[in-house]
Structure 1
């Protein structure tokens, strides 16, 4: 899950995610051929594909697979593109990450797939920091590309990196351009992370996600041209590649010359990058209550400027805002449905639960599910003889 920094990853910005105690898991055994056979306990569905001829055969095989299996195939295609020899396997795929809830279920499946290929291919490669074939960040980048080819969604690296880099009781500050990262303490015995699921599912590839990315690219180009026109000797302006490179001061000076929709999109991203750094400073100082306040502001930006929220997400944030002891809340993930993340004092969790159970059905016409999550470790495996 992402504490703060939504839609900044594909703009070269900063994100502040944490891996949580929910999993996508494979249980299976190695085959001696190039066939992968899978059974999904969630979808009650079977899938089979071949590792032979990848990545060239990806498109052909993809067309005959259910959506969830395309991610597993996509990871295989990217691993073989990296000259890693894979073996087939039989496995059951299961897990408890909410699907389509903004909690990175596809990234969890991709990282689990990479770990499964490493294990079932007799350790043809390994994932880790020291003496490993792939570092966690390289694995995240590989799985990001797998998602893009499997889904058509031009996602950033946030979700995959969070799944790979997770550590117990830690959040990760990730620079999505340099891919440098560092860990921050994220543990307060008096505060819980509460995830509330709207029950609304979204399909990002057919939503406005890719459109937002295109708008950000157009805004970047227009702002660079405007700044260079006024300041032709400004080398920093000439090197602007992404919205991350535009300072808040530059944006304020030139934003009126952008079309209204681009002004909103760029304004949100530039401000959200600043919010990430503000939350980092507050966490380092142990001021989690002050950090919570920034979540409210982030949600308002996602709702009003980036326009990726929905009535159900707004309802949950509004309900949370009226419960004493809720330090902050916002929508989480790509938007248009999914979950909210809430920082809540422990003594207020029951009050928040009751408020949601009483008010949300009336406001949204559906029920919401509520869960408490904790920062947890990244991928791993267990071998059973």
Structure 2
């Protein structure tokens, strides 16, 4: 099958396979095949996932992709088009051999090993393969390149397993959200980052023209329309790669857990008749009224962190109500509010992100903007009237370097479908 119908990363990976791996065909047991998974834009609901709250992401038309062939043994060999680097590991002995093999791999390949390890831990039969890895999800830019790579890895492992396991909605070995949870665990062991399930779920559940409301506790989800020709979704990359300092990210998570402990104690003490107090497990369970009543018992830093999360869950549900009425334009005002909370209360923004949001705020036709992703760098997401796209682009290209000494890059994204695979 021609690769012309596929996205650029799939084509690039397929075209480079013969050059990257030029062994005898007797080494392989199957046809050249490709698997991919999308990155995501999170419209609203930042840092709420690991607080068992609500998120509203959409998969986008940027993917991580594998193109390769199954092998007759348990070896996995990889060539990254982005890093121009080979990596190799063995499926034999996983998950026990994970730590020893991890240390010998470059960072990008550790995510792939992590997914294979979690599949093995789940008792899924695996088979070796050679593959070229490509992608156009900006690395470290807040569009979840790591989650796209992880979900694409799961698709590739299924593709090259010779039918030993399948991924899908019905009668499959793994359902989409099982894949998301498995890939979330893979990220934890590969990077040490205790991330929530938002990124992997968004990649697994993508549908064209749809955002998905996900309850990160129950994993219940439903789709909402997100398609308006007169409004564009712009992702603007700061060019800052302060890798989500695991320490700062994990610190936020711990602060939220500490706030829950104190607030639950206050509710139990002052509301002994409240039978639900003992069931409080996360900030998602604290109402705004309860928070307002007991927030003075929190140290200031915990008060700010918890206040942001509780408000952000409310913002997600406000946006859902607007999308149900197909009022995408009104969503913009809530994005400005979300950025202010991330900057002032959760304190995960940075000078460059704030500069992009402020530039956007000054351009007529920009409905709303906020930083996106874990923070400390990466991208902003902007809702923009289509006729204002060029004006905002010009403003960013002129003002951002003047203010920061950096160059920004701009992508126009669409809500796109989820992962897939094909024999080429």
Task: Quote how far apart the aligned CAs of 1:206 are.
Answer: 3.7
Is the aligned partner of 1:193 residue 2:193?
no
Q: How many Å separate the matches in 1 of 2:373 and 2:333?
A: 19
Identify the residue that residue 179 of structure 1 maps to in structure 2.
219
Q: How many Å separate the matches in 2 of 1:156 and 1:206?
A: 13
* Deviations 1:278-337, CA, capped at 9 Å, x for gaps: 000001111112111100000000000000000000000000000000011000000000
After TM superposition, list the pairs within 5 Å mapping 1:191-340 onto structure 2: 191-340=231-380
Task: Quote how far apart the aligned CAs of 1:183 are.
Answer: 0.2
* Deviations 1:178-224, CA, capped at 9 Å, x for gaps: 00000000001100000000000122244410000000000000000
Task: Quote how far apart the aligned CAs of 1:124 are.
Answer: 1.5
Maintained 8 Å contact 1:152/1:205:
no
| SS of 2:82 mapped into structure 1 | coil
Structure 1 unaligned residues grouped into runs of 5+ = none
Q: How many Å separate the matches in 2 of 1:205 and 1:78?
A: 24
Maintained 8 Å contact 2:336/2:368:
yes
* Deviations 1:146-169, CA, capped at 9 Å, x for gaps: 000000000000000000000000
Maintained 8 Å contact 2:192/2:246:
no
Aligned with 1:343 (options 376, 379, 383): 383
Q: How many Å separate the matches in 2 of 1:14 and 1:134?
A: 23
Q: How many Å separate the matches in 2 of 1:101 and 1:207?
A: 18
| SS of 2:346 mapped into structure 1 | coil
Task: Quote how far apart the aligned CAs of 1:238 are.
Answer: 1.4
After TM superposition, list the pairs within 5 Å mapping 1:102-117 onto structure 2: 102-117=142-157
Maintained 8 Å contact 1:151/1:205:
no
Maintained 8 Å contact 1:29/1:90:
yes
Structure 1 runs of 4+ with >4 Å offset: none
Q: How many Å separate the matches in 2 of 1:307 and 1:40?
A: 34
Identify the residue that residue 125 of structure 1 maps to in structure 2.
165
Aligned with 1:58 (options 76, 95, 98): 98
| SS of 1:381 mapped into structure 2 | strand
Is the aligned partner of 1:27 residue 2:70?
no
Aligned with 1:163 (options 200, 203, 219): 203
| SS of 1:254 mapped into structure 2 | helix
* Deviations 1:12-55, CA, capped at 9 Å, x for gaps: 00000000000100010000000000000101111000000000
Identify the residue that residue 398 of structure 2 maps to in structure 1.
358
Q: After alignment, is 230-239 or 218-227 more displaced?
A: 230-239
Aligned-residue Cα RMSD (Å) equals 0.6
Q: How many Å separate the matches in 1 of 2:164 and 2:295?
A: 52
Q: How many Å separate the matches in 1 of 2:338 and 2:307?
A: 12
Maintained 8 Å contact 1:296/1:329:
yes
Aligned with 2:135 (options 89, 95, 101): 95
Q: How many Å separate the matches in 2 of 1:340 and 1:73?
A: 30
Q: How many Å separate the matches in 2 of 1:192 and 1:346?
A: 5
Q: How many Å separate the matches in 2 of 1:376 and 1:129?
A: 18
Q: How many Å separate the matches in 1 of 2:195 and 2:166?
A: 25
| SS of 1:18 mapped into structure 2 | strand
Q: How many Å separate the matches in 1 of 2:264 and 2:188?
A: 28
Identify the residue that residue 141 of structure 1 maps to in structure 2.
181
| SS of 1:298 mapped into structure 2 | helix
Q: How many Å separate the matches in 2 of 1:373 and 1:290?
A: 19
Maintained 8 Å contact 1:195/1:371:
yes
TM-score by length of 1: 0.99
Is the aligned partner of 1:46 residue 2:76?
no
| SS of 2:60 mapped into structure 1 | coil
TM-score by length of 2: 0.90
Corresponding pairs, count? 384
Task: Quote how far apart the aligned CAs of 1:237 are.
Answer: 1.3
Structure 2 unaligned residues grouped into runs of 5+ = 1-40
Q: How many Å separate the matches in 2 of 1:16 and 1:331?
A: 15
Maintained 8 Å contact 1:247/1:270:
yes
Task: Quote how far apart the aligned CAs of 1:354 are.
Answer: 0.6
